[in-house]
Amino acid sequence: MGRKVKIVATLGPATDNKKRVSQLMNAGVNVFRLNFSYGTHESHLKSFQLIRTTAAELGKNVAVMQDICGPKIRIKGMKDIREVNKGDHLVMAKEPDGEVFSITYPHIIDQLNEGDEVYFADGTVKSKVEKKKDDTLVLRAITSGQLREGKGVNIPKSGIKMSALTEKDKADLKFAAKIGIDIVAVSFVETPEDVLEARKILSDNGSDAWIIAKIERKSALKNLDAILNVTDGIMVARGDLGVEAGIFSVPGLQKEMIKKANERALPVITATQMLTSMLHSASPTRAEISDIANAVYDGTDAVMLSDETAVGSFPVEAVEVMVKTLMDTQNHLPKIKKIKPDKTEGFAHAAAEISGDVPCKAIVSFTTSGYTVRQIAKFRPRKPLYAVTFDEKVGHRMALVWGVERVFVIGLDISENRMIYQFLQQADMQAEYIVTMGSHSGVKGSTNMVRLLDDTARKKIFERFGGK
């Protein structure tokens, strides 16, 4: 049984070269994340081309995911590193001046009032607004820590108004559409409109890339169902989410988000600090292995490495640890996930069920958009999933979907048997398969058939189309 859960790895200074990309692909990376909080369009284009070229040389099907910055609030105008002790007073204003510092989105100061909390540096320094006068806030530190220019700022107060897409994000989305990015992760999504705005920019520029909504704000949790109705997947972004919702709430929220995504057959990525110790150590902690395993038990489609592969000292080893953990953990999963299918999922559910009862090598899904493959993956069958598509871009995106072990790109044809023949020419001609297809080739959502491709059926197809 091949690996079911996928691995997303962030490219960065430690890995952005031919040797490392090759090693990461061979180790098991399925999706490469390009973090647009850093770098230029020129540098990201080089990385994108490097991934594509290397994948072609190694015969690997991988996806490239753009992660746009979103309105990340950061400290601005703090000239020196500042040690903060509990009880200290900090002064924040719209304009920095000497000891008075500001933030990258100073208009937020208007929305804060006395008693509101402001967190800095991933929540390590917590403060409360003690006084407000005009454009200036006096904050009292309630924890100790260190502050410096560029450190992140989180405001747990609900109702803070910020657009999910900055002008930089909009330019980055247009760039992604131009070069052919497969998947886009949108940061700090709060409402379904944030996803729709990003989709319109992509669509207007000729891209149908999947959108992954990063859930990292409390307001997003309130709108989660509506967001799930318009997105192609979600990321459980546990860093900022932990700061805003409280770290003790994150495990439960993770389970809830994954469950809801699973029910809708949407890919979900679990991210942040999965192997942080491997930034500087060749071995993980037992707690980290348990964290990865629990994400698998929760139902995640993919797990993500950030700093571990971007700037860590052991990027390849981190991927290898992920692979070993995922492979061992999936042995303890049930043979099929007991989820009641909705009215559109009957054929996908049937394929998953039959594959557990009938000897076959894999479930083969002929798909135009990847939707049927996602539906089959929803039921978590033990047998491998093969995606057969007419669109190479769709094939790339399948790298994120649970259980998809191989992708085949064939020519579009009105004949079902001729398409199966094309698939068999690239696959094991002697094996038996469970096949799902649609009566209208190339039409999204037309899957209406499940069949067993056994020895008799294969012989008839090869006799008809010249095979032996």
Residue 447 clears pLDDT 80, i.e. is over it: no
The domain 6-71+163-330 is classified under which CATH number: 2.40.50.140, 1.10.630.10, 3.20.20.60, 3.90.1170.50?
3.20.20.60
Cβ–Cβ under 8 Å, residues 278 and 321: yes
- The CATH fold assigned to 73-154 is M1 Pyruvate Kinase; Domain 3 (2.40.33)
Q: What is the β-pairing status of strands 183-186 and 362-367?
A: unpaired
Give yes or no for residue 409 having a pLDDT over 80: yes
Q: Could you tell me whether strands 183-186 and 6-10 are parallel, antiparallel, or unpaired per DSSP bridges?
A: unpaired
Task: Please say if 33 is a catalytic residue.
Answer: yes
Report pLDDT for 143.
96
Is 214 assigned a catalytic role?
Answer: yes
Percent of the chain with pLDDT over 70: 97
In this prediction, residue 444 has a pLDDT band, given cuts at 50, 70 and 90, of low
Selected catalytic residue, list 214, 374, 378, 380: 214
Annotated active-site residue in 3, 4, 6, 33: 33
The pLDDT tens digits for 26-35 are 999 999 999 9
* Tokens matching residue 92: 């924040």
For 2-39, the pLDDT digits (tens) are 999 999 999 999 999 999 999 999 999 999 999 999 99
Domain ranges, ordered by start, for the chain: 6-71+163-330, 73-154, 346-465
End-to-end distance of the chain based on CA atoms, in angstroms?
29
Catalytic member of 15, 272, 368, 389? 272
Q: What is the pLDDT of residue 456?
A: 87
Q: What is the mean pLDDT of residues 287-304?
A: 97
Which one of the listed residues 74, 255, 337, 382 is annotated catalytic?
A: 74
Under the banding of pLDDT at 50, 70 and 90, the label for residue 443 is low
Q: Where are the alpha helices (DSSP H) in 59-107?
A: none
| pLDDT per position as a tens digit, 158-190 | 677 778 899 999 999 999 999 999 999 999 999
Burial grade of 167 (CB within 10 A; 0-12, 13-18, 19 or more): exposed
Give residue-wise pLDDT tens across range 49-101: 999 999 999 999 999 999 999 988 999 999 899 999 999 999 999 999 999 99
Instruction: Note the Cα 81 to chain centre separation in Å.
Output: 34
User: What is 273-294 written as a DSSP string?
Assistant: SSSGGGGT-SS--HHHHHHHHH
Per the rule left: phi > 0, alpha: psi between -120 and 50, beta: everything else, 59 is left
Please report the pLDDT score of residue 114 as a whole number: 95
DSSP notation for 316-350: HHHHHHHHHHHHHHHTTS-SS------TT-HHHHH
Q: Are 200 and 230 in contact (CB under 8 A)?
A: no
Per CATH, which fold does 346-465 belong to?
A: Pyruvate Kinase; Chain: A, domain 1 (3.40.1380)
Residue 337: per-residue pLDDT: 66
pLDDT the model gives residue 72? 87
Same fold, 73-154 and 346-465: no
The question of whether 178 is a catalytic residue gets the answer no
Strand partners, 447: 438
Residue 255 annotated as catalytic? no
E-strand stretches of 45-170: 63-67, 73-76, 82-84, 89-93, 102-103, 117-120, 125-133, 136-141, 145-147, 152-154
| 449: confidence class by pLDDT, cuts 50, 70, 90 | confident
- Strand segments (E) across 307-460: 362-367, 385-389, 404-409, 433-438, 447-453
The amino acid sitting at 177 is A
pLDDT digits (tens, 9 = 90+) for 246-289: 899 999 999 999 999 999 999 999 999 999 999 999 999 999 99
